[in-house]
Structure 1
């Protein structure tokens, strides 16, 4: 303030406003594409009664393309600063929709025990509900263990989708077993992190000022 009591305009460059990340960006579009591919995958999986070699190859290809978008959208979001709250929520939901539909489809075709599908489905549904339960306090990003869980699930499902791999039963069951174990362990870890986030958030709202 000047001697006359008038405010003095600030000198130097003004701080730039924080960049606003557009909701419609390539990373989020890939996430939405993965969601759209889920019904396409199911149609091809059950075409020909689920026993057509040609259609199974097409279903595996659709599943592979959808799985690749999961890897690509995350890398693009981090590399180009396109991480949004929508992406943090929609990306895991798209993953769960893809994996869940594949597991249910394989179980309906009698190629994967229902207990495997139920264990993974319960964990994924529980984590999704937890995300919304604590969303007012923040968003919990995927952990390294969660990423390995997703990778082993996708590889295991791919091995079961491909026709003519009966000779590799020990391999695909080993991969699926690792996927189930990681699913349970990371589910417990997510519950702990969600409770910690909620506790910290509630404590912050009680602080004065």
Structure 2
């Protein structure tokens, strides 16, 4: 039907049909060399609804652009730490596990893994590079390198199994505890927890190296401090989890009592 207005054809004035008509008119006038807007106006009219709001597809595209790529520097450091786990185990157990040279290479792999642990989280938070992959892979990489080192040391007889059990049991237990109380809130990392991680890394690194003399005695005391901090900070996390759960339950009960009906 020629000559029928867009409003009469079922499209609201200023809607997508009108926008398309205006886009066609603008394109035609631009082609004819008149003073009307050029093809760019037609593109904008086709991408935006008549009420002036951005198109839905444009919002989705903008959100996709704003999301950090998985292949960012923070995640690459996390991936490197994951790859260092099997490399560390191979170096640690090479030539029977007691060769000082191979133990030195294993220590280098362990040290690189611990150093990258200090940087990837900081980079992700500072430069807005936080991704779902990083949230999952980062704690896995942390526990994997520490667990591999402790198990290797205990398997070689350099470290009592009960020390490995206390440290790994605490790490797995606190991780599980965080998931259990996440409905009530998040347990923040404390300064004691960060000091514990640093002390554990130094102690395990000293045990990885084939030390003798007073350094071998010193590493015993460093590991003792690490075990104490492991237990103390673990108990503190349990206390925080109990307080968080009680507070969350109390807030829910108060909200139910205040709700009508």
**What's the TM-score bracket when you normalise by the shorter of the two chains?**
0.7 to 0.9
Maintained 8 Å contact 1:88/1:141: no
Task: Give the drift of 1:176.
Answer: 0.6
Paired position in structure 1 for 2:68: 22
Q: Cα distance 1:43–1:27, how it changes in 2: closer, same or farther (>3 A)?
A: same
Bigger relative contact order (CA 8 A; separation at least 6): 1
Task: Give the drift of 1:133.
Answer: 1.7
Task: Give the drift of 1:205.
Answer: 4.8
Q: Which runs of 5+ in 1 are unaligned?
A: 1-8, 10-16
Q: Which of 127, 135, 159 is the aligned partner of 2:182? A: 135
Figure out how many residues of one structure are paired with residues of the other and give that number: 196
Q: Is residue 66 from structure 1 mapped to residue 113 from structure 2 by the alignment? A: yes
Distance 1:43 1:87 in 2: 26
Q: CA RMSD in A?
A: 2.7
Q: 1:80-95 residue pairs with structure 2 within 5 A? A: 80-84=127-131, 87-95=134-142
Task: Give the drift of 1:195.
Answer: 2.7
Q: 1:1-209 residue pairs with structure 2 within 5 A? A: 21-22=67-68, 24=70, 25-84=72-131, 87-206=134-253, 207-208=255-256
Task: Give the drift of 1:77.
Answer: 2.1
Q: Which runs of 5+ in 2 are unaligned?
A: 1-51, 53-62
TM-score, normalised on structure 1?
0.81
Task: Give the drift of 1:154.
Answer: 0.5
Maintained 8 Å contact 1:77/1:83: yes
Higher radius of gyration, 1 or 2: 2
